[in-house]
Amino acid sequence: MEEKPRPTWQIILRSGILGGGIAAYLCLVGLVEAFSERFLIGSFLTLGEVMLVTGILIAGLLTARELKDNKILATGSSLLSGVVSSLPLILLIFITMLFVLRPEILGATYNLRDMFVNLSPELVEILTLGQGLDNLALGILLLILLSALMSLLGAAFVLLPRRWSLGLISGIAWVLVIGIFSDTVSQIVRQVAGQGMIRVIFVNEALTPQAAVIIFAIAFVTGFFSVHTRIQTRWEGIPQTQQSRTRMILLLAAFGFLLVLPWVVGLFLSQALFTVGLFVMMCLGLNIVVGYAGLLDLGYVAFFAFGAYTMGILTTTGSLGRGGLNFWMAIPFCILVGVVWGLILGFPVLRLRGDYLAIVTLGFGEIIRILALSDWLAPFEGGAQGVLHIPYPNFLGIIFDSPQYMYYVVIAGGLIAAFVTIRLRESRLGRQWMAMREDEDVAEAMGINLVQTKLLAFAIGASFGALAGGVWAARLGNIFPHSFNLLISINALAVIIIGGMGSIPGVIIGALVLVGMPELLREFTEYRYLMYGILLIIMMLVRPEGLLPEATRRRELHTGEDENFEPVSQQPVGSDR
């Protein structure tokens, strides 16, 4: 039985209240007022204003998506949904006026601002577009007009032809991204083009209007012509030899870009890239355990700690020095220690699955952290004082004492880890892991040795975590037990889930989003994690399979949604390719 379409008035009311509710919430938590001084373009568009209209844009987009079969009706309904979106904001204006600014009108005996600290005169100024209480009627009228126009802009993303909508979205997105990350972009421009170009593009950390128009035009044209179906059709028509040559050229270009990147972006971004690369290296190992084998490991930080302490003890020049080795000689021992402890963890959990496995591995990680803090092991690993004076890597007389040099170490480690992971995924062992992930009983009935397969997953995954820990210890020079808390395991698991479990490109994208983005959002102080969390919630609702999911997981979550999606032919798990 087909579901009846909702009435138009219900769509307008629902979308409008949702959009207005989002805008009112951002006002109440203080985001709109806090960032009203953060200009994005010249001196007339602030980040606070962008946050204010974001919910209204969403209202127009949702309305148009529901009524897109009738474009005239969708356009008019989107305008009305924008008007409805302004109603919660108008209510917020009157509440602020009657219970904060002029309580004597109603004879109120308390100030509502004691509960909602962000109900302020400045917020009223923003919501009335600078008119304030002196011209309240005009301010409310301007707010309604702005809401209607912004809702119409959101509808344009759906109602315009695909080329135009892609160009519009691309242009707006690039202007906003460069405006928000103007400090980071200005560092890159200064490194590449010098201080003179900074004055042309930015003024007081905001884009100049001329630069904003140029960026919008370039991004619009790029989005307008980025029709993926045509590109794919042309690519399929190219001979195989030419495709291979093109791939090789693109691969070499990407490799050259990675080599020069740290010297282009500067010290701060190089450190951020180092952290991202470190998590990529670590999460590629966890991806084997969780993404390939389906074994939920919440104690992965323990292997990271083993690698770091092994590097510290074998190379430190302090009192804990045991081996007197350099970085390159100690790295194989870090990997070996990770493998051994991966096997040690694997044996007790062979019969556990799901939540029980997660609890045991969580306990394992906490046990290792507490042991690192204990006085019992302090003569061997430093106890609460940690391991100090770990030397930097040295290669041909070059000391890797800066983020730009250490960037190359994590790039090399990440490439090796990615290569090994790809080869394992395509091997018989990789297919055994994936079969075990889907159903352990069926996999065992097909002749797969679950004991051996699980142990190999834990051991190989742990080796990558220990490798990342060794590199991290060499970069910091000092390590302490408090650095190896549960949050590292949670972050690593979140990278895999957000990027797409079982997907190597997903691990890279997930690390860029979850690790690199907070580093770039440091200027937003205490609000960065709020925005970060909101974006994650939206992403998980829109793309629960992750940003770049593995094909199998994508099919599982979207079965029946895409009629043109053809399943991949199955091969016997125990056979060679």
Average confidence (pLDDT) over 364-374: 86
The string over 435-445, giving b where at least 16 C-beta atoms fall within 10 Å of a residue's C-beta and e elsewhere, is bbbeebeebee
Q: What is the pLDDT of residue 159?
A: 92
Angstrom CA distances, 333 to 33, 95, 276, 307, 323, stand at 53, 66, 24, 8, 11
Backbone angles phi, psi at 194, to 5 degrees: 95, 175
Is a pLDDT exceeding 80 seen at residue 563?
Answer: no
E strands along 387-432, which residues? 394-395, 398-399
Domain positions in the chain are 1-159, 162-237, 268-557
Is a pLDDT exceeding 70 seen at residue 40?
Answer: yes
Average confidence (pLDDT) over 118-122: 88
Burial class of residue 117 (count of CB atoms within 10 Å of its CB; 0-12, 13-18, 19+) = exposed
Task: Name the amino acid, one letter, at 480.
Answer: F
Q: Residue with structure tokens 């041909």?
A: 396
- Rounded CA-CA distance 198/78 in Å is 40
Residue 496 and residue 291 in contact, taking contact as beta carbons nearer than 8 Å = yes
Q: Band of the pLDDT at 269, cuts 50, 70, 90?
A: confident
| Residue 420: how many other CB atoms lie within 10 Å | 16
Q: What is the pLDDT of residue 558?
A: 60
Q: What is the pLDDT of residue 3?
A: 57
Q: What is the pLDDT of residue 82?
A: 94
Q: What is the pLDDT of residue 237?
A: 64
Q: Band of the pLDDT at 576, cuts 50, 70, 90?
A: very low
Q: Band of the pLDDT at 337, cuts 50, 70, 90?
A: very high
Mean pLDDT of the chain: 84
Q: What is the pLDDT of residue 155?
A: 94
DSSP string, 70-84: SHHHHHHHHHHHHHH
Average confidence (pLDDT) over 242-266: 83
Q: What is the pLDDT of residue 193?
A: 75
- Rounded CA-CA distance 123/96 in Å is 9
pLDDT tens digits for 130-183?
888 889 999 999 999 999 999 999 999 999 998 899 899 999 999 998 988 888
pLDDT tens digits for 171-228?
999 999 898 888 888 878 887 777 778 888 888 888 999 999 999 999 999 888 865 5
- Rounded CA-CA distance 202/217 in Å is 17
| Residue 43: how many other CB atoms lie within 10 Å | 10
Burial class of residue 20 (count of CB atoms within 10 Å of its CB; 0-12, 13-18, 19+) = buried
| Residue 300: how many other CB atoms lie within 10 Å | 27
Window from 42-46, 228-232, 386-390 with minimum mean pLDDT: 228-232
Q: What is the pLDDT of residue 538?
A: 72
Q: What is the pLDDT of residue 567?
A: 43
Q: What is the pLDDT of residue 78?
A: 93
Q: Reply yes or no on domain 268-557 having CATH 1.10.3470.
A: yes
Count of all residues that appear for the chain in the document: 577
Q: What is the pLDDT of residue 568?
A: 40
Q: What is the pLDDT of residue 499?
A: 86
- Rounded CA-CA distance 140/125 in Å is 11
Window from 100-104, 335-339, 506-510 with minimum mean pLDDT: 100-104
Backbone angles phi, psi at 503, to 5 degrees: -110, 125
pLDDT tens digits for 459-478?
999 999 999 999 999 998 88
End-to-end CA distance of the chain: 46
Average confidence (pLDDT) over 234-249: 74
Q: What is the pLDDT of residue 231?
A: 53
Q: Band of the pLDDT at 569, cuts 50, 70, 90?
A: very low
Average confidence (pLDDT) over 482-495: 87
Here the tokens at position 188 are 């890159």
